Amino acid sequence: MSSMKGSTRFFTIGLVTAWYSSNIGVLLLNKYLLSNYGFKYPIFLTMCHMTACSLLSYIAIVWLKMVPMQTIRSRVQFMKISALSLVFCASVVSGNISLRYLPVSFNQAIGATTPFFTAVFAYLMMFKREAWLTYVTLIPVVTGVIIASGGEPSFHLFGFIVCVGATAARALKTVLQGILLSSEGEMLNSMNLLMYMAPVAVVLLLPATLFMEENVVGITLALARDDIRIIWYLLFNSALAYFVNLTNFLVTKHTSALTLQVLGNAKGTVAVVVSILIFRNPVSVTGMLGYSLTVIGVILYSEAKKRSK
């Protein structure tokens, strides 16, 4: 019995490690490609991610049968999934664009304000009110980012606006998912939802790439002739993007929602520390204080949400 418990513990630790590594890995590799390496095509990069998610989701569900396949039952359900996919695309593309202009540490500080946007959208779209204490905990979340913005040595206004947009879109997707796919017959687990959303995302991103990032395939192939590593970077990065979703699903399945929340709060901090060590971007005391305040706010918010239930 104890060996069973031990192996389960090792499995969970392994899962969490894989989740952290893929999450932080994809973030750092995106940053490296888009700003350090000079691959200036965030829409094409996102399309590569979505193509990998489409193929690998299909293999995982249809061939490997990792989770039971759920079918789309109606045109209405497909339209809802397409709407979610559009918001999902907007959030990922905006997040990738922001990485061209902002350091990962500041990008993560802004990303930590997701609970604030989630509460706003839940109120506006579902008239869902939280306990007053929950709203109070959002004050340090937002204040922290305002302080961090003032003390950010690498502040870039366009990058900041796009990153806030990405964070808002991520929150909007969460709220929309709760509204659109809440009925018993339409609920999909995250693996199946990704399998249907990713191909729609590719279809949406293809014209955007062709229109906004002209001849990107030709440019990438020309880059590959000089440095073949770009192809391997793109393939590895795209596979990692899928593993972020896969490990997220498995961690949710094998641990509790609370554990996931705590791990998620810590993950941003780990990403910030690792990115500063790798990219050596300048940080200020004000910026770090602001980010710390945001993280404390997010932890208090999680606690307040748990208590109000």
In this prediction, residue 82 carries a pLDDT of: 96
CA-closest candidate to residue 130, choices 169, 175, 173, 170 = 175
In this prediction, residue 9 carries a pLDDT of: 83
In this prediction, residue 4 carries a pLDDT of: 66
Instruction: Return the amino acid letter for 81.
Output: I
In this prediction, residue 302 carries a pLDDT of: 86
Residues 6+ apart with CB under 8 A from 139: 297
Instruction: Find the radius of gyration of the CA atoms of the chain.
Output: 20
CA-closest candidate to residue 195, choices 91, 90, 81 = 81
Look up the pTM and report it.
Answer: 0.91
Tokens representing 193 are 């939802």
The single residue listed with the structure tokens 């990738």 is 96
Q: What is the mean pLDDT of the chain?
A: 91
- Give the Cα separation of 309 and 299 in Å (integer): 16
Crossing angle (nearest 10°) for helices 285-308 and 114-126: 40
Q: How many CB atoms neighbour CB 3 within 10 A?
A: 7
Tokens representing 15 are 């899962």
- Give the Cα separation of 10 and 94 in Å (integer): 36
What phi and psi values does residue 2 have, to the nearest 5 degrees?
Answer: -65, -35
Q: Give per-residue burial for 95-127: e unless 16+ CB within 10 Å, then b.
A: bbbbbbbbbbbbbbbbbbbbbbbbbebbeeeee
In this prediction, residue 95 carries a pLDDT of: 96
In this prediction, residue 1 carries a pLDDT of: 58
CA-closest candidate to residue 30, choices 14, 48, 15, 52 = 48
In this prediction, residue 3 carries a pLDDT of: 66
In this prediction, residue 112 carries a pLDDT of: 92
Which DSSP letter does residue 32 get?
I
- Give the Cα separation of 12 and 30 in Å (integer): 27
Average pLDDT per block of 10 residues along the chain, 309 residues long: 72 91 95 93 97 97 94 92 96 96 94 93 90 92 93 94 97 90 82 96 96 93 93 97 93 78 82 92 92 92 84
Q: Do the beta carbons of residue 103 and residue 279 sit within 8 Å? A: yes
Q: How many CB atoms neighbour CB 213 within 10 A?
A: 17
Q: Do the beta carbons of residue 43 and residue 272 sit within 8 Å? A: no
In this prediction, residue 180 carries a pLDDT of: 83
pLDDT in tens, 248-260: 889 888 887 667 7
Output 179-183 pairs: Cβ under 8 A, ≥24 positions apart. 179/125, 179/126, 180/80, 180/83, 180/84, 181/77, 181/80, 181/81, 181/84
